[in-house]
Structure 1
Amino acid sequence: MSQSKAPEVRHVEIDAEMAGQRLDNFLARELKGVPKSHIYRLLRSGQVRINGKRAGQTYRLSAGDTIRIPPVRVSQSAVGRVVPHGKPLPVVYEDDALLVIDKPAGMAVHGGSGVSFGVIEQLRRQRPDARLLELAHRLDRETSGLLIVAKKRSALAALHDMMREGRVDKHYITMVAGRWMHPRQHLRDPLYKYQTADGERRVRVQADGKAAHSIVTLRRRWQTMSELGVELKTGRTHQIRVHLTHAGFPLLGDDKYGDFALNKTLAKTAGLQRMFLHAARLAFHHPLSGEPVAVEAELPAELLAFRRWVEQQEERDFGEAL
């Protein structure tokens, strides 16, 4: 395995924008491609110093701190795994504090759990001079649509608070199996997160789960399928997918909770190769200025094409849609 030349000792001075983050997270970004286990060994052995002294992994950086970063060898293969190639990610909104991208389906938001890289790694590659690019929230790998990335630590902290307190309006579009009859319905089933025998993360409705709230509105309805809008009032893992499946309306193309036989048929006959779930609209007050921000992302071409197929099939077989 080829090795890159070991870097020299570096001394990094922390400014106000870098302050507040944990030392281990800071080092993980500074030492791209270095396993966290190795970073923890560097900390335990005292090779990383702050203002000339040892510091633990949970130490919060302060403006004016000087960090000694020792020479660390990084294999070229490790670098290659975290420096992705591909089309530039589409940016739909940007200012000096944050940006919002339109994430394609099938792309993880970050590397890990068997994924070599994700949105955040690719975005950092696109913008090598950016001082900070951090996810303000997440989307499932299979979900397309709007994703907020912070460019300032002050904006990131504020956005995390806003997400936690439900002060970001998040609206999704999905298509489900079944004929949804309610113009507007609140789903409040508590959600419990667990792991399958092979270690896969899953969620189910369970009485002792965490509180979850989805507001579902009817957009279009045919005899066998429905297009819905979903507003999330909480941000639980797989919330929309589990709430709607539990209600008897599995998302089309959902390979974890959906109707697997139907998914297979739709992939073959209609070309639906992904889950029909799209983060279509975000609205919030800017984390620094307080000004209102509202952004939208149109349905991707493959979902628009599938909707046209549904309209043609069902209008031919059953008549007009709702």
Structure 2
Amino acid sequence: MKEIKIDNNSSGKRLDKFLGGYFSECSMGFLFKMLRKKNITLNGKKATGKELLNNGDTISVFFSDDTFYKFANKHVSSDETANNTSEYIKAYERFGKLDIVYEDENILLLNKPVGILSQKAEVKDVSINEWLIGYLLKEEVISPENLGTFRPSVCNRLDRNTSGLLICSKSLVGARKMAEVLKDRSLHKYYKTIVVGRISEDSHLSGYLYKDKKTNKVTLFDKIPDKNAVNSADYSPIETSFKVLSHGAFSYDGKQQELTELEVLLHTGKTHQIRAHLSSTGHPIIGDGKYGKEAINNSLRNKFGLKFQLLHSYKLVFPKIEGELSYLSDKVFEANLPEQFNNIERSCF
């Protein structure tokens, strides 16, 4: 017999839904049969599966070890510590102790460095998702067994070579609330960047974004092209605002190339939105090999070692939040700029 202790991450779930996720390798019909035969009980009593779970409840499972691990999801295997968590521990050891801006029992805000994926694109990738679980395991915030019912994860995404604030959930309530404020756009995400040329006025940009999946490049349009010729669902409405912070310049081909530092507010969050939107105005982000100006980028690479777009998610402003995460209401969090960004600021502004 094995016992499963219910924590806050599973509190409020129906017993049958919980069992279906925990024992993902067998049918619901089998699980209901085990409930009827009292091979699965809740707090020592027969259950129907319709019961709502509470923190501290105990589910007793009268299976053999072989049957238990055969039907349990991959995060509840008997060799969990030796095998299934090794990926997370290796990710933590690979990236080390990253810059944590804020952490509580429900969320963690991380200042992601350039060059690390937020989430896996392919099976072989290593991302912040794996690092997060490795960090929580190392710090003994969670145990391997906890991963059978809830896995902490990244809530928002940044491009591999965009640095800055990532929101990570540590609990189910954290994951749900962060998904809510990201979806309704009440959480405001601000970026800092430097673009080519001189921009004199603040602006609000809108349009439609089309992504070419083969090239992983997006194209912007003022309006959706002829609906008879394209699938309009492939064109996403986007909005971007920016505020001019300062003006600078650097020597380029014997002349002074003007630069503008911007604070960008992302109203919608689509692939490469900020990069493509600014490029469409004639002011690409410096270092951007996909949407920028090659000759200028080469000069910046030689002078500052800048190999990627200089774009940093530096500030999050939380909205008024009701319920368990109300303590985050109206909170503002900022992430330090990467040293390379600071070097360019000092030299050019």
Would you say same fold, with TM above 0.5?
A: yes
Quote the residue 1:289 is aligned against: 325
Distance 1:289 1:236 in 2: 27
Return the match for 2:282 from 224, 239, 248. Answer: 248
1:213 aligns with 2:228: no
- Shift in Å at residue 88 of structure 1? 0.6
User: What code does the residue aligned with 1:214 have?
Assistant: T
Quote the residue 1:270 is aligned against: 304
- Shift in Å at residue 117 of structure 1? 1.0
Distance 2:157 2:100 in 1: 16
Give me the TM-score of the superposition, normalised by structure 2: 0.68
Cα deviation digits, residues 22-72 of structure 1 (max 9, x gap): 98x967xxxxxxxxxxx9xx74x759975567xxxxxxxx74788954258
Distance 1:125 1:92 in 2: 18
- Shift in Å at residue 308 of structure 1? 2.1
Quote the residue 2:41 is aligned against: none
Structure 2 residue matching 1:224: 3-state secondary structure: strand
Distance 1:152 1:10 in 2: 24
Quote the residue 1:302 is aligned against: 340
Structure 1 residue matching 2:134: 3-state secondary structure: helix
Give me the TM-score of the superposition, normalised by structure 1: 0.74
Greater CA drift, 171-180 or 112-121:
112-121
Distance 1:176 1:87 in 2: 32
User: What code does the residue aligned with 2:218 have?
Assistant: V
Distance 1:135 1:149 in 2: 4
Structure 1 residue matching 2:186: 3-state secondary structure: coil
- Shift in Å at residue 250 of structure 1? 1.0
- Shift in Å at residue 13 of structure 1? 5.7
Structure 1 residue matching 2:278: 3-state secondary structure: helix
1:201 aligns with 2:216: yes
Structure 1 segments, 4+ long, off by >6 Å, are 19-23, 64-67, 76-79
Number of residue pairs aligned between Structure 1 and Structure 2: 279
* More helix as a share of residues: 2
Q: Is the 8 A contact 2:190 2:263 kept in 1?
A: yes
Distance 2:3 2:339 in 1: 48
Quote the residue 1:101 is aligned against: 110
Q: Is the 8 A contact 1:124 1:130 kept in 2?
A: no
Distance 1:244 1:308 in 2: 23
Q: Is the 8 A contact 1:145 1:280 kept in 2?
A: yes
Distance 1:99 1:186 in 2: 31
User: What code does the residue aligned with 1:201 have?
Assistant: N
Q: Is the 8 A contact 1:47 1:69 kept in 2?
A: no
- Shift in Å at residue 114 of structure 1? 6.5
Give 5+ residue unaligned stretches, structure 1. Answer: 1-8, 28-38, 54-61, 312-322
Q: Is the 8 A contact 1:50 1:66 kept in 2?
A: no
Greater CA drift, 248-257 or 77-86:
77-86
Give matches, 1:1-322, under 5 Å: 12=4, 15-18=7-10, 43=25, 50=31, 63=53, 68-70=68-70, 82=88, 83-84=90-91, 85=93, 86-113=95-122, 116-128=125-137, 129-131=140-142, 132-182=151-201, 184-196=202-214, 200-206=215-221, 207=224, 208=232, 209-222=235-248, 223-285=257-319, 286=321, 288-290=324-326, 291-311=329-349
- Shift in Å at residue 15 of structure 1? 4.4
- Shift in Å at residue 80 of structure 1? 5.6
Distance 1:51 1:265 in 2: 67
Larger Rg: 2
Percent identity (aligned): 26
User: What code does the residue aligned with 2:206 have?
Assistant: R
Distance 2:266 2:277 in 1: 11
Q: Is the 8 A contact 2:119 2:157 kept in 1?
A: no
Greater CA drift, 278-287 or 145-154:
278-287
Structure 1 residue matching 2:331: 3-state secondary structure: strand
Distance 1:69 1:211 in 2: 47
- Shift in Å at residue 149 of structure 1? 0.9
Over 3 Å counting, the alpha-carbon distance change for 1:52 and 1:304 in structure 2 is farther
